[in-house]
């Protein structure tokens, strides 16, 4: 299930349990925000399009924090004129966690926080010495063989005879 929602004048495609970065919103960290300007809802192929918004549908998101985007460098120059300008900009963003997409009369049953949705690995049971498999004794290592004396001496390679040149007669 996803929805197209207007947040801060821009349209965003959102899903449940998704992180989203939008232009900075004036709200405190940890607060829940409700966006009712939902333009489209897709529920596994059942698409509802609003004119301009879908009635009664809303998106609830939690403000996780306020951050800055990566720095964008702006460099302007004109050849052979001595004109050079260097500037930079970091956009202020708000990190949102989408808690759900709700229709008419639906309410948020539980607070789905990113901390809660992370699954913890099950604890391994302690293994006792009796239940643990026994290790086999290591086989004795073989002694390294002494280097073999070269019984046969290498004969020098015989030189190949050069091919005879054919004479022209």
Q: Does the global pTM surpass 0.85?
A: no
Taking a C-beta distance cutoff of 8 angstroms, is the pair 117, 94 a contact? no
| Residue 169 to residue 155: CA distance in whole angstroms | 41
pLDDT tens digits, residue range 62-111?
999 999 999 999 999 999 999 999 999 999 999 999 999 998 877 877 55
pLDDT at 109 (0 to 100): 72
162 Rama sector, left if φ>0, alpha if ψ -120 to 50, beta otherwise: beta
pLDDT above 80: residue 52: yes
168's tokens: 């022209």
Alpha-carbon separation of residue 107 from 19, 44, 65, 114 (angstroms): 21, 20, 24, 19
Q: Give CA–CA dist 36/54, Å, rounded.
A: 8
Residue 69 · residue 93 · CB < 8 Å: yes
The pLDDT tens digits of the residues spanning 105-136 come to 778 775 555 555 555 555 555 555 565 566 66
pLDDT tens profile 7-31: 999 999 999 999 999 999 999 999 9
pLDDT at 144: 62
d(CA 31, CA 116): 17
**Quick one: pLDDT at residue 105?**
77
- Residue with tokens 């299930």, as numbered in its chain: 1
pLDDT of residue 49: 94
Contact 67, 21 (CB under 8 A): yes
């Amino acid at each position: 299930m996803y929805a197209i929602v207007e947040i801060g004048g821009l349209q965003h495609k959102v899903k449940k349990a998704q992180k989203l970065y939008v232009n900075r919103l004036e709200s405190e960290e940890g607060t829940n925000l409700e966006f009712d300007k939902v333009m489209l809802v897709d529920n596994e192929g059942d698409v509802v399009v609003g004119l301009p918004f879908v009635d009664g549908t809303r998106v609830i998101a939690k403000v996780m924090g306020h951050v800055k985007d990566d720095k964008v460098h702006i460099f302007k120059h004109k050849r052979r004129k001595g004109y050079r300008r260097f500037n930079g900009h970091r956009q202020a963003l708000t990190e949102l966690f989408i808690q759900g997409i709700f229709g008419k009369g639906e309410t948020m049953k539980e607070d789905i926080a990113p901390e809660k949705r992370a699954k913890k690995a099950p604890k391994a049971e302690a293994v006792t010495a009796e239940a643990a498999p026994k290790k086999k004794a290591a086989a004795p290592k073989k002694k390294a063989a002494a280097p073999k004396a070269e019984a046969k001496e290498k004969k020098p390679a015989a030189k190949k005879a050069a091919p005879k040149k054919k004479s022209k007669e």
